[in-house]
Amino acid sequence: MHKEAGEDGSDNAHFSGLSREQICRCRTHRAELIDSSQSLCFHCFNLTLFYGRSKPLLTLLSCAIKQFAFLCLCRTVSTLHALLVGLFCLYILFFDEAVNQDPVWGDPTLVKINVSITTGYLISDLLLIFYYWRAIGDKFFVIHHLAALYAYYYVLGQGMLPYFANFRLLAEFSTPCVNQRWFFEVLGYPKVSKPNMANGVLMAFVFFLVRIAVMPVYYSRMCSVYGTEAFYKVSFGGRSAWIFSSICLDIMNVMWMHKIARGCYKVLLSSRRSKPESQENGKTN
């Protein structure tokens, strides 16, 4: 009782000169201020505790977002590289007379530029594959890149076989469709969606055109120079790299073509089956 009387006395001393209604309002505001301060301290404590416990999760999420953005950038760069090198390759095939007339020892200036661009890209892509092996690692891609780099070493170092080195770059035209398929998959497009199906059919067609259908042209030109004087001027290492890399790359191209064709056929077949089912559901409904 004495304590309460003391507190009331001190309050009355603070609020001297004020009416009873004003004193009640001041006490109410003071109580609200104390409650707000306590609530703010409580939330700050919880936020600090949550951040301390979830910091590893936030760090992991940030790394995943950065990795995803980096992979998107890599796919975009891959598409731009493929279009640049592919168009340059067509220009050389149609307009570089020196290379077309002498496929073994023709002037390799333009071809070296094109091959240099591809070599730089293959090296950087190979390093990225090793660094992000869990996300994009593929042993066949590693073999493909190493086989191509093995052959391009002789093209850039000794200027030999410019026609054949440039001809292999036609295969880059299939890359944009492959990258677009990855983007559709990341964006959540169903496999039977029209954009995904159109890209899949186009990918199968272009892949067959620039990697499979051109094989007879490539190997017939190879046979035409086999045993000639220009052929024997090529070092044994250069000939080995040329023949070995060509066979190795084309074996993988056939494997990939078979895989792409099967996938395309399955998607088209499933889309045809889904149409009658949707029509039947529409009738029953």
pLDDT, tens digit, 9 for 90 and up, residues 96-155:
999 999 999 999 999 999 999 999 999 999 998 898 888 788 898 999 999 999 999 999
Give the per-residue pLDDT at 268.
86
Q: Is the pLDDT of residue 3 over 50?
A: no
Q: Give the burial string for 150-189 (b: 16+ CB within 10 Å, else e).
A: bbbebbbeebbbbbbbbbbbbbbbbbbbbbbbeebeeeeb
Q: Is the pLDDT of residue 214 over 50?
A: yes
Instruction: Tell me, yes or no, whether 7 and 137 share the same domain.
Output: no
Instruction: Tell me, yes or no, whether 18 and 145 share the same domain.
Output: no
Tokens representing residue 122 in the block: 């293959």
Instruction: Tell me, yes or no, whether 117 and 71 share the same domain.
Output: yes
Give the closest residue to 84 by CA, choosing from 110, 127, 118.
Answer: 118
Instruction: Tell me, yes or no, whether 263 and 190 share the same domain.
Output: yes
Q: Is the pLDDT of residue 278 over 90?
A: no
Instruction: Tell me, yes or no, whether 52 and 69 share the same domain.
Output: no
Give the per-residue pLDDT at 74.
87
Q: Is the pLDDT of residue 258 over 80?
A: yes
- Burial grade of 108 (CB within 10 A; 0-12, 13-18, 19 or more): buried
Mean pLDDT, rounded, for 215-231 = 94
Instruction: Tell me, yes or no, whether 228 and 279 share the same domain.
Output: yes
Q: Is the pTM of this model over 0.85?
A: no
- Report the distance separating Cα 26 and Cα 41, nearest Å: 23
Structural domains of the chain, count: 2
Which of 32, 57, 82 finishes a domain?
Answer: 57
Q: Is the pLDDT of residue 232 over 80?
A: yes
Higher pLDDT, 5 or 235: 235
Instruction: Tell me, yes or no, whether 98 and 217 share the same domain.
Output: yes
Instruction: Tell me, yes or no, whether 70 and 156 share the same domain.
Output: yes
Proportion of the chain above pLDDT 70, given as a percent: 73
Q: How confident is the model at residue 11 (pLDDT cuts 50, 70, 90)?
A: low
Instruction: Tell me, yes or no, whether 26 and 121 share the same domain.
Output: no
Cβ–Cβ < 8 Å for 148, 168: yes
- Report the distance separating Cα 139 and Cα 157, nearest Å: 27
Tokens representing residue 68 in the block: 């995803």
Q: How confident is the model at residue 285 (pLDDT cuts 50, 70, 90)?
A: very low
Instruction: Tell me, yes or no, whether 235 and 160 share the same domain.
Output: yes
Give the closest residue to 174 by CA, choosing from 205, 214, 206.
Answer: 206
Mean pLDDT, rounded, for 56-82 = 77
Q: Taking the CA atoms of 92, 96, 97 and 100 in sequence, report the sign of the dihedral they define.
A: negative
Which residues make Cβ contacts (< 8 Å) with residue 168, sequence separation at least 6?
148, 151, 218, 246, 249
Q: For all residues of the chain together, what is the average pLDDT? A: 82
Instruction: Tell me, yes or no, whether 124 and 220 share the same domain.
Output: yes
First to last CA, the chain: 79
Higher pLDDT, 128 or 167: 167
- Report the distance separating Cα 255 and Cα 249, nearest Å: 10
Higher pLDDT, 97 or 284: 97
Mean pLDDT, rounded, for 244-273 = 91
Q: Tell me which residue range forms the domain holding 46.
A: 2-57
Which of 14, 42, 57 finishes a domain?
Answer: 57
Cβ–Cβ < 8 Å for 171, 107: no
Instruction: Tell me, yes or no, whether 107 and 235 share the same domain.
Output: yes
Cβ–Cβ < 8 Å for 71, 63: no
DSSP annotation of 193: S
Helix axes 109-131, 20-95, angle to 10 degrees: 140
**Secondary structure (3-state) at 81:** helix
Q: Taking the CA atoms of 117, 242, 103 and 215 in sequence, report the sign of the dihedral they define.
A: negative
pLDDT tens digits for range 22-67: 556 665 655 555 555 555 555 554 545 445 555 565 565 566 677 7
